[in-house]
Structure 1
Amino acid sequence: MTTTVTVDDPRDLVAHLPYRLGFHPADSVVLAGLCRGPSGRDLVGLVVRCDLADLGHPAAGPALAATLGGHLLADGAYDVFAVVYLATSRRGVSRDERVRHARRALVDAMPWAASLRGPWFVGHEAFGHLDPCRCCAAGGRPLRDLETSVASAAFVADGRAAVRCREDLAVVRTQDTAARAAAARAGAQERRRVAAARAVGAAFRPPPAESAELCRLRQEHCDLWDSSLGEVPAHATLGRLLVALEDTRVRDAVLAATLAGGDVVARDLLPVDAVDLVLTVAPPPERDTIVAADRLACAVVAHAPDGAAAPALGLLSYLCWWDAAGARADVLAGQALQEQPGHRLAVLVREALDAAVPPPWYPQRHEH
């Protein structure tokens, strides 16, 4: 999802970073690549976060900095804006040995990035240039200035939020036990319907590719998903949708329709090559479409029985990867793998993130 914000003050760039990550970093270094846009204005490209302990390690830090520099260059960065997040004072940040090692590693690895020599910090009460300067007070600027920045206001108005910490990106089960019980009952009943539809085809020898009943049920499940977008579904509906997403044909149709955006509906994309077709076209994410699918999938997860939410979590993690929300994609993929080790879609997301593979639309984002 793309939120376009024009800024003229570096504080707006600092304020922008947690919204790009989806959470407020801690004990971290965040790097934002600055790229040249078609009009000649600077654009914020790839944003990466790493643990201060890793980048500030005397032995391992330089190699990590070189890897990050390679990713930023590949994304088209000509400069890099760096922010250190550490819950202490400006003086405490500047005197931290890990920060000194990290700064040296970054400058050595990316000599082409002039702004790395003037990094910023976000502490427990203030933010600003890490080194003494004329624009920041001795202890830095008050954190409330970030909350009132142009960037923060724009993201909040667009419905974006940055959670307290990375762990908060996970989906939490609802505490409404009656709601979860209703969803579980509906899910169990729907699972019996699916089993019966599959059994109809298996009764013939040789069995057909799939029974007419199973085809009809898949179309029904796609329609149920589409009709539930933008609504507040009944608990029973959420239980049925969880079962629907257990069928990879239905899940892929839902995924492809969400990626395609516009007026595309899931039932029209039930053919097995639908996802490949959408990936080939590689449209950028449409905010309204992604948000609606995200909310519905989160509701399905929140009402799912313990250990059974991997189908919806895998879908969510892929949507986040497509939306270039890497941190949330990683957290949700981890949740899916905890509930179902080896879940294929979650594994694919993890592999893409580990290899720093962006969604296919991302390299052409400036053209969009």
Structure 2
Amino acid sequence: MTSTDIPRLSVRSPGDLIAAVPYLLGFHPADSVVVVAMRGKRVTFAARSDLSDLAGPVDAGRPAAGAGGPVEPARHVAAVVARQLADRATVLGYGTASRVTPAVDAVCAALAEAGIPVLDALRVTDGRYWSYLCDEPECCPPDGRPYDARASEITAAAVFAGQVALPDRDALVAQVAPVEGTERTGLRLATERALRRRADLVDAAPAADLLGGRALRAASRAAIRVALRRYRRSERIDDDEVAWLSLLLTDLTVRDHAWERTDGRDADIALWTDVLRRAEPEFIAAPGALLAFAAWRAGHGALAAVALERVLTVHPDYSLALLLDDLLRRGVPPSRLDGWPAVRLSGLARRRGKGRRGTR
């Protein structure tokens, strides 16, 4: 689910909308249903679901269509769109008619049930589109209407504005995939050095500094400060710095310190993407969740989603990732949480002060 935050594009036809969708999502959809929601004349939101979730074969343990098969996922999509205060929507299905039609029908029915008028419902494949709501051969011929997204003014305007549409979702997943080969070997060695460095720091701490807590907090703040500064100068941190930072972030107070300083800036997205890709698997939870937060704040819901998928595959109980995953699935727009996480963390600090010190 993606809240759109792109420059205003003048969509005057179904072909224009089809050209705009990849820039709303960040990649070209396939085997998908996309709902483009509008408020007034402005596109405000785009939600995408896999056809397999909406109209695929019934999985073992999943109810058949008549008992909630594609209906429940469709209702979820409609509820997410309604949460954006949308007053109209267009539904686009990408794929063959046999798979797209039941999915589009289910989504359109769910939107109607939610009180959201459907302007049009389209099937898109192989450079053509068909309308489910128009049967006039002059505008909607039986063999479909051709379109060329590359020749669209929408595409030109999006590219000029710096928007990127990756070839498919797999290309987006690759952006957060772990580095491999000799680079991975170097990072494993750097992680071993980071573990020894932490042990040495704790051992060298004075007796008054219980378990080296103050020394570790000071080192953590310095590491975060250096990393943020470096990426805001379009520089990178080296392997030892990645390993050290990812290790320090396993402390939730350190993670929260980084979280308070993370926004939707390109530099923040670049930092946490880099650390997520380079950190060892046991240390990806915090950088992956911080990337998801930064991407979500910037309106890049698809990037946030793939970052969370990677985290939750390895760390299924990581609370911040679960929280952000829930926000994305419910389509909560970033504007609803302006000032977060500072507001949330200050509230947590007040509650801690009233209760036991050090609890979480």
Task: Answer yes or no: is the 8 Å Cα contact 2:104–2:121 preserved in 1.
Answer: no
Q: Output the CA distance in 2 between the equivalents of 1:75 and 1:103.
A: 16
Q: Give the one of 248, 251, 254 matched to 2:255.
A: 251
Partner of 1:47: 46
Partner of 1:174: 179
Partner of 1:155: 158
Partner SS state of residue 227, structure 1: helix
Q: Give the one of 25, 34, 40 matched to 2:38.
A: 34
Give the AA of the match of 1:190: A
Task: Answer yes or no: is the 8 Å Cα contact 1:167–1:331 preserved in 2.
Answer: no
Instruction: Tell me if 1:195 matches 2:222.
Output: no
Partner of 2:287: 312
Instruction: Tell me if 1:342 matches 2:317.
Output: yes
Q: Give the one of 26, 34, 39 matched to 1:22.
A: 26
Task: Answer yes or no: is the 8 Å Cα contact 2:7–2:161 preserved in 1.
Answer: no
- Give the superposition deviation at 1:342: 1.6
- Per the normalisation by structure 1, the TM-score is 0.73
Aligned pair count reads: 319
CA spacing shift, 1:363–1:68, aligned 2, 3 Å = farther
- Per the normalisation by structure 2, the TM-score is 0.75
Partner of 2:225: 223
CA spacing shift, 1:148–1:238, aligned 2, 3 Å = farther
Q: Which runs of 5+ in 2 are unaligned?
A: 56-64, 340-360
Give the AA of the match of 2:218: R
Q: Output the CA distance in 1 between the equivalents of 2:108 and 2:39.
A: 23
Task: Answer yes or no: is the 8 Å Cα contact 1:320–1:329 preserved in 2.
Answer: yes
String of CA shifts for 1:227-265, please: whole Å, max 9, x gaps. Answer: 320214433333333234334333333332222xxxxxx
Partner of 1:119: 121
Give the AA of the match of 1:2: D
Percentage of matched positions with identical amino acids? 25
Give the AA of the match of 2:294: L
Q: Output the CA distance in 1 between the equivalents of 2:282 and 2:330.
A: 28
- Give the superposition deviation at 1:202: 8.0
Instruction: Tell me if 1:7 matches 2:6.
Output: no
Partner of 2:102: 98
Q: Output the CA distance in 2 between the equivalents of 1:250 and 1:160.
A: 33
Q: Output the CA distance in 2 between the equivalents of 1:155 and 1:195.
A: 50
Give the AA of the match of 2:30: A
Partner SS state of residue 177, structure 2: coil
Map 1:61-100 to 2 at 5 A: 61-86=70-95, 88=96, 92=97, 98-99=102-103
Partner of 2:275: 300
